Structure 1
Amino acid sequence: MKFIQVISILLIIITTSCDSSNSETIIAKNRLGLLTPTTQVNEINTILKNDSIAEFDLESRLNRVNEIEVFNKEGKVSIVIEPNYQNDSLFTINEIQILDPKYKTKKGLSVDSNFKTIYENYKIDNIQNSINSVILSIDEIGAYIVIDKKHLPSKLKFDSEVKIEANQIPNEAPFKYFWLRFEEPSL
Structure 2
Amino acid sequence: MKKYLIIIFLFTLYLQSCQQEVDTTFLITNEKVGMLDKSSLARDVELIFAKDSVVKDTTALNLGNKAKKLKIYEKGGRHLLTLTPSADSIPQIENVRFEDPRFTTEKGVNIKSTFKEIKEAYTIKKVITSTNNVLLLVKESDVYFTISKEELPSSLRYASSKNIDAVQIPDKAKIKYMMLGWN
- TM class by smaller structure: 0.7 to 0.9
1:68 aligned residue: 70
Cα 1:55/1:157, change in 2 over 3 Å: closer
Q: Which has the higher contact order (CA 8 A, sep 6+)?
A: 1
Counterpart-to-counterpart distance in 2, 1:109 and 1:169: 17
Counterpart-to-counterpart distance in 2, 1:125 and 1:7: 49
Counterpart-to-counterpart distance in 1, 2:12 and 2:177: 43
Matched, 1:81 2:78: no
Cα 1:109/1:85, change in 2 over 3 Å: same
Structure number, greater radius of gyration: 2
For 1:130-167, what per-residue CA distance to the aligned partner results, in whole angstroms no more than 9, with x for missing partners? 11110001242201211011111121111132222212
Secondary structure (helix, strand or coil) at the match of 1:46 reads helix
Cα 1:14/1:148, change in 2 over 3 Å: farther
Q: Which amino acid aligns with 1:36?
A: D
2:125 aligned residue: 125
Aligned residues: 177
Q: Structure 1 unaligned segments of length 5 or more: list them.
A: none
Q: Structure 2 unaligned segments of length 5 or more: list them.
A: none
Q: Which amino acid aligns with 1:13?
A: S
Deviation of 1:177 after TM superposition, in Å, equals 0.8
Is the contact between residue 42 and residue 93 of structure 2 (CA under 8 Å) also seen in structure 1? yes
What TM-score comes out, normalization by structure 1 length? 0.84
| Identical columns (%) | 27
Cα 1:55/1:131, change in 2 over 3 Å: closer
1:18 aligned residue: 21
Matched, 1:156 2:156: yes
Secondary structure (helix, strand or coil) at the match of 1:119 reads helix
